[in-house]
Amino acid sequence: MKRMRRNGPELVAGLDIGSGRVTCLIGSPDGATGAVKVLGGSSVACRGLKGGVVINILEAASAVTRAVEEAEAQAKATVSSVWLGVRGSHLQSFNNRGAYNIARTDREITAADVDAVVSSARAIPLSSDREILHVVPQGFSLDRQRGVPHPVGMEASLLEVDVHLVTASSAHLNNIMKTVAQAGFEVVEPVYGLLAAGEVLVTPEEKELGSVLVDLGGQSLSIGVYSEGAIKYSKELSIGSDFITRDLAVGLKTSIATAERIKVEHGIAHPSLLDGDAPIDCRAIDGRTPMSVNMSTMMGIILPRVEEIFSLVADDLHNSDCADLIAPGGAILTGGGSLMKGTVEAAQQILGVPVRRGVPHPDLIQAEEKWLSPVYSTALGLLQHSTSPRWSGVNTRVVARKRPLWMRKFASMLEELF
Ligand SMILES: Nc1ncnc2c1ncn2[C@@H]1O[C@H](COP(=O)(O)OP(=O)(O)O)[C@@H](O)[C@H]1O
Ligand SMILES: [Mg+2]
C-alpha cells in the first residue's frame, strides 16, 4: 500500500489547509545550503472548508488527497507525512511572559532552564475547548535586563521570557487533523500558516525594524506584526478575496464562477490601473445569455470592498497599538487575493506605509517561477519551517493515522455517490 511507505529520502511535504483551498508542495532540503528545492505542487479549491474550518470532512479529505497526489505526480515521489498549515478565525493569539528562578549556586543558564521558562509562559487561563498551538519566544530577560537573544551559558538568578501564544479551537483543529488522517497522511505538526509564510517572506531586517505581513486569502485575512526580530501580534479576520467575487456576482448579476473568472482575468483594485474602458464579454447568471461589462463598472464594484478590507487591517493595527511598530519596514502582502492588479497600490494608500508583494527569499527556497506565487507562500513556509522548526516540540501531537488505500477509495466512492 502506497501510504504505508515512508517519505522518500530527504523529502518534505507542506500541506496548507487554507480558508477555501488546499495547497501542497513537496520539496527536498539541500543539506549544504539549507535551502529547500521545490519538486512539485498543487492547489485545489475545496468546498469542504469554510474560513479554515472543516465543514465537510469527506470533501475536505478528497481535496487533500487530490492536492497531495498531484504534487506527488509532479515530484515523481510519494510522501506519507505532511507539515500541516492551518488558518482561520478560530485561531487567537496573545502575548504572555514566563519567569524562572535559577536557584543553583552556579547560576549558569542551561538549555533545560530555557525550556522551563518557555514552558512557564504557557500558563494562561484557557477554556477547555481551546488549546495552545505555539509558544513563540520573542526575547529573554536576565535579572530584568531585556533583549537577551541567547541566554544559555550566561548567568542570572531570574530568567524571564516574553512569548507570543497562538491558540486554536480544539474541535476545529481535531477536525482538520481527522481530515488529513482520512486522506491517509500523517501530520508531523500543525503550524499556524501565517507564521510559516513569515519565515520565507519577511526578511530578518524587516522583522527587526518593524513590519506587517498581510495574507489575503479567500475567506480569511491574516495579519502578522514583527518587531525587534519577533512576531508581536497576529490576527485572523473573517474577510477575504472571495467577498470581492461575491460582490461581482451580485453586482453584475452573474454566476460565482463567471465572477471569479472576471476577477482573476480583469480585476483591478486601484483606479490608477484603469486603462480605457473596454467591455468584458461574459455570461449572465443562467450561464448562457451573453452580456458585456465595462471595466469601469467592474472596478466600481471591486474598489469599495478592497477599501473595506484594508481599512479593517488599518483599524485592527490601530486598535492593537501596532500601527507605530510597522512604519519602518512597511507591509508585505501575500495570499491568492494579493494577485489582483493594484492591490499593492490600494494597500499603500489605505495603510499609509510602503507596501510590497512578498517574494520567497532565494537563499531559503529554490523553485520554478510558478511555485513562487503568493498562492503557495504558506506551503513554502512550511517546507522551510520543517528544516529548522523553531517553535515546535511545544505541541507536537501526531494524532493522524495512516489509512489503508481501500479505505481512502471507499471514502471517495461515498463522496461521489452523495
Ligand atoms: N490572479 C488572481 N487575481 C485575483 N484574485 C485571485 C487570483 N488568484 C487567486 N485569487 C483569489 O485568491 C483567493 C484564494 O487565496 P488563497 O491564498 O489561495 O486561499 P486561502 O484562503 O485558502 O489560503 C481567492 O479568493 C481567489 O479568487
Ligand atoms: Mg493562502
What pLDDT shows up at residue 1?
37
What pLDDT shows up at residue 401?
38
Residue among 23, 338, 375 to mutate when testing ligand 1 (max atoms within 8 A of CB): 375
Task: Specify whether 278 is located in the same domain as 332.
Answer: yes
For residue 264, count other CB atoms closer than 10 A to its CB.
13
Of 359, 386, 404, which marks where a domain is finished? 359
Q: Which atom of ligand 1 is nearest to the CA of 335?
A: 17
Task: Specify whether 264 is located in the same domain as 385.
Answer: no
The CA 103 to ligand 1 mean position distance, Å, reads: 53
CATH code for the domain in which residue 113 is found: 3.30.1490.110
Task: Specify whether 312 is located in the same domain as 232.
Answer: yes
For residue 239, count other CB atoms closer than 10 A to its CB.
22
* Pocket lined around ligand 1, Cβ cut-off 6 Å: 18-21, 217-218, 220, 240-242, 245, 260, 263-264, 267, 335-337, 339-340, 375
Task: Specify whether 30 is located in the same domain as 179.
Answer: yes
Residue among 214, 339, 344 to mutate when testing ligand 1 (max atoms within 8 A of CB): 339
Cell of 393: 516540540
Task: Specify whether 263 is located in the same domain as 298.
Answer: yes
Q: End-to-end CA distance of the chain, in Å?
A: 27
Q: Which of 191, 189, 186 is nearest to 80 (CA)?
A: 186
Please state the rounded mean pLDDT for residues 50-60: 97
What pLDDT shows up at residue 394?
43
pLDDT in tens, 310-319: 999 999 999 9
Task: Specify whether 61 is located in the same domain as 128.
Answer: no
Q: How far apart are CA 61 and CA 53, in angstroms?
A: 13
Number of domains comprising the chain: 3
Task: Specify whether 313 is located in the same domain as 369.
Answer: no
Q: By the 8 A CB rule, do 178 and 57 touch? A: yes
Task: Specify whether 159 is located in the same domain as 210.
Answer: no
Binned at pLDDT 50, 70 and 90, residue 18 comes out as: very high
Q: Which residue carries 492593537 as its cell?
A: 320
Task: Specify whether 282 is located in the same domain as 342.
Answer: yes
CATH code for the domain in which residue 300 is found: 3.30.420.40
The CA 369 to ligand 1 mean position distance, Å, reads: 17
- Residue 400's φ and ψ, nearest 5 degrees, are -70, 135
Task: Specify whether 297 is located in the same domain as 312.
Answer: yes
Q: By the 8 A CB rule, do 69 and 3 touch? A: no
Domain range holding 295?
205-359
The CA 221 to ligand 2 mean position distance, Å, reads: 9
| Nearest residue (CA) to ligand 1, atom 2 | 264
pTM assigned to the model = 0.91
What pLDDT shows up at residue 416?
56
Cell of 38: 521545490
Read off the amino acid at residue 86. V
Task: Specify whether 28 is located in the same domain as 76.
Answer: yes
Q: By the 8 A CB rule, do 395 and 177 touch? A: no
Task: Specify whether 237 is located in the same domain as 248.
Answer: yes
Q: By the 8 A CB rule, do 135 and 78 touch? A: no
Cα-based distances in Å from 158 to 75, 98, 100, 291:
50, 11, 6, 71
pLDDT in tens, 259-311: 999 999 999 999 999 988 889 988 888 888 889 999 999 999 999 999 999 99
pLDDT in tens, 218-261: 999 999 999 999 999 999 999 999 999 999 999 999 999 999 99
> Pseudo-torsion of CA 141, 145, 147, 150, nearest 10°?
-50
Q: How far apart are CA 244 and CA 357, in angstroms?
A: 19
Q: By the 8 A CB rule, do 282 and 292 touch? A: yes
Rg (CA), the chain: 22
How many residues does this entry show for the chain? 418
Q: Which atom of ligand 1 is nearest to the CA of 215?
A: 17
